[in-house]
Amino acid sequence: MTTPENTPAVAVQTINRGLPAGKMPELRMMPAPSDANVYGDVFGGWIMAQVDIAGSLPATRRANGRVATISVNSFVFKNPVFVGDLLSFYADIVRVGNTSITVNVEVYAERNRLQADTVKVTEATLTYVATDSDRKPRKVPPIETLLHP
Ligand SMILES: CC(C)(COP(=O)(O)OP(=O)(O)OC[C@H]1O[C@@H](n2cnc3c(N)ncnc32)[C@H](O)[C@@H]1OP(=O)(O)O)[C@@H](O)C(=O)NCCC(=O)NCCS
């Protein structure tokens, strides 16, 4: 019998099958044919651009303003990405320095719209620098001063 207690848990299990439990992706994207080579494999550069955007989102919130990517520290394409995969980008801050914020990004692909087959396709670590209106580094504000860290 469906009760108010068990309905949300069942729904979440179905939706999150194969994806990290209890986490919200920063970004969800579906590559189009124009993002792929003639074999239907998505270009690494397209994936890198989306990873950069996904990682910049928690960095921007933590910096409470603009950031610039200073470094891609590591980037591993563990599995290919295909046209039509539904990609989820998870981004976690792993280090906050004086002006820099380092973010780990993991990407999962739900294959073929039925979302029965989910694989981790990419993992990367990037460093962002909080910048001022002159594009110069500025200090990352103390976390307790943020309204939405
Ligand atoms: C981002 C930018 C403003 C930083 O200015 P900078 O004078 O080079 O920076 P600094 O040497 O003062 O270093 C700033 C921070 O970045 C860190 N950093 C510098 N080089 C780094 C590297 N190779 N990897 C990781 N972190 C690095 C420093 O340790 C420092 O962190 P901290 O303050 O937390 O200790 C400048 O480099 C820039 O404009 N770069 C171009 C950004 C850009 O166009 N990005 C998009 C390209 S795709």
In a domain, 1, yes or no: no
- Ligand 1 center to residue 70 CA distance, Å? 4
**In this structure, are residues 52 and 69 in contact, taking their beta carbons and an 8 Å threshold?**
yes
**In this structure, are residues 119 and 106 in contact, taking their beta carbons and an 8 Å threshold?**
no
Lowest mean pLDDT among 59-63, 66-70, 113-117, 133-137: 113-117
The answer on pLDDT for 11 being more than 80 is: no
Residue 10 is predicted with a pLDDT of 46
Atom nearest to 52 CA in ligand 1: 48
| Residue 129: φ, ψ to 5° | -120, 130
**In this structure, are residues 32 and 46 in contact, taking their beta carbons and an 8 Å threshold?**
no
Atom nearest to 69 CA in ligand 1: 45
In a domain, 24, yes or no: yes
In a domain, 2, yes or no: no
Residue 141: which CATH number? 3.10.129.10
In a domain, 89, yes or no: yes
Read off the pLDDT of each residue in 133-141 and give the average, rounded to a whole number: 97
Contacts of 84 (CB under 8 A, 6+ apart): 30, 31, 112, 113
Residue 72 is predicted with a pLDDT of 98
Domain residue limits at 71: 7-145
Looking at ligand 1, which residue's alpha carbon is closest to its atom 40? 70
- Ligand 1 center to residue 129 CA distance, Å? 6
Domains held by the chain: number: 1
**Per-chain mean pLDDT for the chain:** 89
For the beta sheet containing 86-96, the strands, ordered from the edge strand earlier in sequence to the opposite edge, are: 27-29, 86-96, 100-110, 118-130, 67-77
pLDDT band at 130 (very low <50, low <70, confident <90, very high): very high
Q: Is-above-0.85 flag for pTM?
A: yes
Closest CA to 139 of 93, 101, 102: 101
Ligand 1 touching residue 6 (CB < 6 A): no
Residues in the chain: 149
In a domain, 128, yes or no: yes
In a domain, 70, yes or no: yes
Ligand 1 touching residue 98 (CB < 6 A): yes
Closest CA to 31 of 121, 139, 131, 123: 121
pLDDT band at 34 (very low <50, low <70, confident <90, very high): very high
Ligand 1 touching residue 97 (CB < 6 A): yes
